[in-house]
Structure 1
Amino acid sequence: MCLGIPGQVVDIVDAEQSLATVAVNGVRRTISVRLLADDNLQVGDWVLVHVGFAMAKIDEHEATLTLDQVQKMGADYTAEIEAFNSSEIA
């Protein structure tokens, strides 16, 4: 199963290359935010992350609700967190 998990942007690493660091479940990774180039991402924004790519910008309320739901999925959530942990772009 492929899930997108909420992550909060904690640093814009390289705006020219569309790279940002996000925090997911206490883990920080540099990911591509190229798909959201028109969304004017800022530190503090929330994004939906899948295997090293930000797929959508979401608000904090949606991030909280989504995290609550995916954590209830057990093994699928654990597998997605493991994929995130191994997906660093830079």
Structure 2
Amino acid sequence: MNHSVGAINDNSNMWLIGWSKTVGDLRVSHFIGMHALQLLPLLSFYIFKNTKATIVVSILYGLLAVSTLVQALNGKPLITEKKIEELK
């Protein structure tokens, strides 16, 4: 009953959002999926105004949510500490 998968989170979290950099974190896919409920209707109404474009973006958004869920369930973090150091 924890949001960390693969090991106990050692508090090596990303600043501000708190997602783990060492183990899989279920909060990433939860964040993506919950904000889809807000973002997709807004995009559909104000930007796309086209059913086909909305369906395509919804499928891509769903694939992103599923891929982050699978990654977390495999115990892998979204971004590792090595990648963060490379970006600096």
Regarding TM over 0.5, the answer is: no
Which structure has more relative contact order (CA 8 Å, sep 6+)? It is 2
More helix by share: 2
Instruction: Give 1 or 2 for the bigger CA radius of gyration.
Output: 2
Calculate the TM-score normalised by the size of structure 2: 0.31
